[in-house]
Amino acid sequence: MGKKEDGMFRYADGRDKLLMLCGTLGSMGDGLQIPLMMFVLSSVINEYADPNAKVSYSSVNKYALRLLYVAIGVGLSAFVEGLCWARTAERQTSRMRLEYLKSVLRQDVGFFDTQAADSSTTYQVVSTISSDSSTIQVTIGEKIPDCLAYMSSFFFCFIFAFTLSWRLTLAAIPFTLMFIVPGLGFGKLMMDVGMQMIESYGVAGGIAEQAISSIRTVYSYVGERQTLERFSHALQTTMALGIKQGYARGLMMGSMGVIYVSWGFQAWVGSMLVTKKGEKGGDIFVAGFNVLMGGL
C-alpha cells in the first residue's frame, strides 16, 4: 500500500486538482490588474505630456479600449478564481468532515464508554473540529487564492517596472525591502498568535456548549456562577493573546510609513533620470508605482 499523502490538500481528488489548477491561473490573471492598468496608463501619460502631440478622440478611444480589454480579462480571471477555489474548498472540507465522522464511528465501544456525552473533552473536540474545518475552508477558498493573486501582482509589477525603467527599479528595491521584511515578520507573529487564540476559543467553546446542553443540571446545582467563572477564566488567555495580536498589527501598519520615504526617493531619482537620461515621465511614474504596489 502506498503512503497516504499528508497536508492540507490530502482530500483532493482529480476534479479538485483540476479546479485548483484553473483557480491558480485565474489568480494569476487577477494579479495582473494593477500592472496592466498602470502599463496602459504610462502610455497615456507619455502621449498627453508630449507638447507636440494633439489629443484626439481616436487616441482617447484607443486607450479606453485597452483599459476595457484589461477590465474584461481581469474580470473573467477573478470570476474563474472565485468559482474554482470556492467549489474545491467546499468539496474538500465536506470530504474532511465525512472522514472525521467515519473515524469516530470506527472506534471501539470502549472509546464511547470512556467519553461521557456531557464531558468537556467531548464538547471541546466537537467545537474544535467545527472551527478547524471552517478555518480550512476559508483558507482554501479565500486565503490561498488571495496569496496567489498577490504573488502574481508582486512578480508582474516588478517585471513591468524593469521594462519601463530599470534604473529607477534597481534604486527603489532596497526601500521596498524595508516594508516587506517587517510585514513578513509581524505577519508570522500574528499567525502564531491566531493559532493560539483558536485553541483557547476551543476550550471556552467546550465549556459553553457543555453548560448549555446540561442547563437543567447547572440550575439544579446552582452552578451558574461556577460556570461563568470557568468560562471567564478560559477567555483570559484569549484576551491576552488578542492584545498581543493588536500590538503586532499596529507595529506592522506603522512600519508602512516608510512608503513615504520611498516615494520621496523615487521622485528625486526620477527627476534626475528625466532631466539627465532622457527617460519619459510616464514610464518613471508608473515604474515607481509598480515597485511600491509590488512590495505591498
The continuous run of DSSP H or E covering 268 comes out as helix 258-276
Instruction: Locate the DSSP E strands across the chain.
Output: none
Residue-wise pLDDT for 16-66, tens only, equals 889 999 999 999 998 888 888 888 888 888 877 777 767 777 878 888 898
3: which DSSP letter?
Answer: P
Residue found under cell 503512503: 3
Residue 233: what residue type?
H
The per-residue pLDDT for 76 is 93
- In tens digits, what is the pLDDT along the chain, a chain of 296 residues? 344 556 778 888 888 889 999 999 999 998 888 888 888 888 888 877 777 767 777 878 888 898 899 999 999 999 999 999 999 988 888 888 888 777 777 766 665 555 554 454 555 556 666 667 778 888 888 888 988 998 898 888 888 888 888 888 888 888 777 777 777 777 777 777 777 777 777 777 777 766 766 766 666 666 677 777 777 777 777 777 778 778 877 877 777 777 788 888 888 888 888 888 888 888 888 888 888 887 76
CB 25 within 8 A of CB 73: no
Task: Concatenate the DSSP letters of all residues of 221-267 into one string.
Answer: TT-HHHHHHHHHHHHHHHHHHHHHHHHHHHHHHHGGGHHHHHHHHHH
The predicted model scores a pTM of 0.69
The per-residue pLDDT for 213 is 67
The per-residue pLDDT for 121 is 53
Q: What angle do CA 253, 258, 264 make, to 5 degrees?
A: 145
Q: How far apart are the first and last CA of the chain?
A: 46
The per-residue pLDDT for 1 is 37
Residue found under cell 461556577: 226
